[in-house]
Every structure is written in structure tokens, then in C-alpha cells.
Structure 1
Amino acid sequence: MITMNSNIRPFLKWAGGKTQLLDEIIKELPVDIKQYRRYVEPFVGAGAVFFYFLENNYFEEYIINDINSKLINLYKVIRDKPEDLIVEIQGLKTKYLELDTKERKKLFYEIRTNFNNNCSSIKLASYFIFLNKTCFNGLYRENSKGNFNVPFGKYKNPSFFDEIQLRKISRLLNLKNSNGGFKIKILNKDFSELKEYIDANTFVYCDPPYRPVTVGGFTSYNKSNFNDKSQILLRDFYKLMDAKGAKVMLSNSDPKNLDEKDTFFDELYSNFNIKKVYSKRNINSVGNRRGKITELLIINYKR
């Protein structure tokens, strides 16, 4: 197997982030993956898989999408105004680290309030990174009104950001195609609106909000709340992509971690190949429950 570069680290902490699962994902790619011209990722999140493909020049065209408009704003600001963003984050970092715990907490909630109200695109992007690195467990969660509501995380020395990494990511997002346009399209749509971008020359990787594997688990990634009905709608979208001839990989939780009799995904994707892979759960409110669990990779092809 050819060793590929994987120097870009995701710039966000992300529930269900795929950095640790990347080797398993690569193993399950179609053997003819390089023959596909376009890559589509309907739930880009922190982008670990996307950046791996981009850094290793797998495809001619990339379409990344997420329903989270504030996340998509962050991607666009990193692409278009990285230096302005770095200045903003550095200012927040310096201010935060000079404060004691009580004052840090006060600053956190002030920024969270500002984040949930109108502000410039650059401030919104800097607030996103600040909150991601200082909130509880790095979660992103919205209430029914669409407001970010994760509490303060009490970290002594959060990482905040890496200037070199942000500049590398900005350069990658600015790659141009043969026509002089962006090689990467950055969209803010519901996954169901991506049909027009998918055909038999497309590889699609879907990493939706996971079905909870703990009682009372996390699903409120955005105000729409990605529940079982949403998972079924995604299955319908998966079938549509399959009918179009696209190669599709989808990751999700394994319900059997919680209940061995739970066959939700077995039934939902009974016509496709379901593979179990091991992952270490990094985001859990109970520290001693952060350990290896199985996750699912669902593919519509034979390698």
C-alpha cells in the first residue's frame, strides 16, 4: 500500500471526528477510487476525510457541504481571509489566558451571546473556534431556536489554533481548477439538496450526526435535531445516490454498543454492505466510558 500524506489536522474538536478512523476508511475505499472525478461530502464537520483526499489529490473537484451555516462561514473565512481570522483569534486567546477561571467563564458566556447574535463574518468565525476550544468537551449543539448552548469547559490551557495549519488549509481551499475557478465548492444546504452534484463519476462520503450510542445521547447538532426520521431520509438519499451510479460510503454508530438487539441500521441498509470498525470514543461526559467501541461503515460497492 502506498503511504499517503496526512499532514493537515482538523482545526476543530468535533464529536464523531474521523481522524482516528481514517486508516479504516482508506482501507474500505473502492479499488478504483482515483477514477472518480468528483468528491461530495454532505456533512463536512471538521473535514478530516475531505482534507486527506484534498492533500493527496484524489479528485478533480470537491463539494463540501454542511447545514450548519456558522460552520460553513468558518470554512469560507479560512479560505478568503485567513490573516484577519488569525489576528481575531490571537486577540481572544491572549485575553482569555490572562484571566482567572471566574473571569474566563464570564468571557466565555459573553462571546457565546455575541456568537448567537449578528456579527461580522470574521468575528463569527473567530468566535466559533474560541467556543469550540473552550466549551465543554468541544461539542457543537444548538437549541430549538438555533442558538449554540454548550456550557463553559474550564480548560486551563486550550489549544485554540495553529497558525501554520490554518494557512495550509487556506491554501488548499484556494486551489483552482483548469478553468480558474475554485476546485472546492463550499455549500450550505440540507443533504437532500445535493442531488444535482452526484452522478456515476462521483464518490460520496456521508458522516451524519450519529445515532446515539448512550442513553440520552447527543443528537442536537443543529436546531433540526437529526433523529431516526432523519436517518431514514438519509437512507432514502443513499438509495438515490446508488441509483445514480455513485460510489457511496456512510459512517454511523453501531446501535449494538448499547443494545445487542437493536437492528436499526441492519434493516435500514439491508441491501448494502455493512462493515464494523473499531473507534475510540473521545467525547463522553463520563471519563471512564471513553474507550473502544464499534462503528459502522456502509458501502454500496465491493472493493
Structure 2
Amino acid sequence: MEIRKVLVIGAGQMGAGIAQVAAQAGLEVVLNDLKPEFLERGMGTITKNLSRDVEKGRKTEEEKAAILARLHPTTNMGDAHDAQLAIEAATENMEIKKNIFRQMDEVLQEGAILATNTSSLPITEIAAVTSRPELVIGMHFMNPVPVMKLVEIIRGLATTDEVYKTIEVLSKQMGKVPVEVNDFPGFVSNRVLMPMINEAIYCVFEGVATPEAVDEVMKLGMNHPMGPLTLADFIGLDTCLAIMEVLYEGFGDSKYRPCPLLRKYVKAGWLGKKTGRGFYTYS
């Protein structure tokens, strides 16, 4: 199947990034969210990213204008009924995602592929609420989407080979490197990354070291470009907690138990960079 038109649901950090790379790949993109102000913010982010590319000589003004012309923000999902693919990039919550998939299943034409950008939730469970589980697949992009090359592609129990191949080809068209991963909690990226972040939080919680010291050790000693606590703030501590909960529930192993300090920060509304306060303070 050739993908020409894509519906992206969610104009936040991930959704806006996915919409941008899809439009850069020459696809018509319908960007959908609940409120006009969310769409304005998402389109503002995309415009800012493209303007930076023009300033640095990576794109021309004409290319920027052509990319923006392929983006169509709307609060009405029905505007994308003829899309061949929908990519859901909503918050990491199973009930919210299931509800969106029911809507996409109803709105999109027969034969359209439904993808989720979930970072940890089971594809098979999401697919089960649709009438087309064989056309449901995971496309886990990395943040920031326009920069990071990896896309984890996750098959559900019923996903067909043809759907996998279509998404693999499309990922390459979008300038990404697709890697096939099986449908287990956290897939590969977050099954490895999140326990490391959680352990770094335990180091602070138990008084082993300050956040600055933990990050410095991992940057200088392990050659990480960013310390785990800075990265947690960047991802969002609420998202980190949600993924740890999925791992803990999915495997039933105490090694995935979220650190109490992570829970406390989330309850306090200290979610990281997006709220101005996490393990660090942001102006």
C-alpha cells in the first residue's frame, strides 16, 4: 500500500515532530487535537524548527513553505477520513489511547493502517478495541522526532507482514531507521532506559549523591551525552512514572518498582522541563 496522506493525532511534542517529518517526506498531513490552542502551539513548534533549518542553511524558504503547505491542522478527525495511515501520539494512558483507536477505526476508510506512538503500552491490547487488529502497529519515535533517527516498529499479535513492510518503507521515507521489536512492556528502548533512570532517582532518594553528581558520573564515566536525571526532566517525570508502572505491572518484578521520590515529584506537579521544575529548575 502506498501512503500519501497521514492523520497525526496529538499536536504535542511528539505529535508535532511526527507531523513535521511526515510533511518533510512529501506526505499530506492532517494534524488533529482537541483544542485550537493545542494545534496553534504544535504548528508554532514546527514553524520554529523549520525556520531554524533555514537559518542554518539546511532548507530553503521555498522548502519550508512547501512543508507547511502540506500540514492541515484541525479539531475534526473526520477531515482525514481518506488517509491511508493514522498515527496516534496522545498521552501515555491506555484508556485514552483505546478511546482514540475506537474513533480512528470508525472515521478512517477501510484498509487504513492505525499506528500508535506508545512508548511502552501493549500494541495487541490497543488493537483489540478496533475492527481491524491486523492493521494496527506500533511506531515508537524518539524525542526530539525531527533529530532522532530511530523508530521502534512493534507488531501486535495480529499485525500482518504487509502492514509491517509498509510501515518499514514509510519510516525510511521519513528519514528514520526502523528496528523491529516484539510486543513486550517497554519494548527495548524503555525497558533498558527507564530502570536506569529509576535507579538514578533512587541514588538521589537514598542520599547517595545529588542530581548534579549522578548526571556527571554518567556523562563523564559512561560517555552519555546527557545525564539520566536531565533526560528524565526532558522526557517528563509523569511519562517516566507511567512507563515504570507499565513495566512493573507487565513483568510483576520488584526491580521495576517506581522510586517513591519519582511519585512524590509527579504528585507535586514537578514534571520536569515542561513545568519549569523537576530534578532541576528551568527558567
Q: What TM-score, normalized to structure 1?
A: 0.28
User: Which gives a bigger RCO, structure 1 or 2 (Cα 8 Å, sep 6+)?
Assistant: 1
Q: What TM-score, normalized to structure 2?
A: 0.29
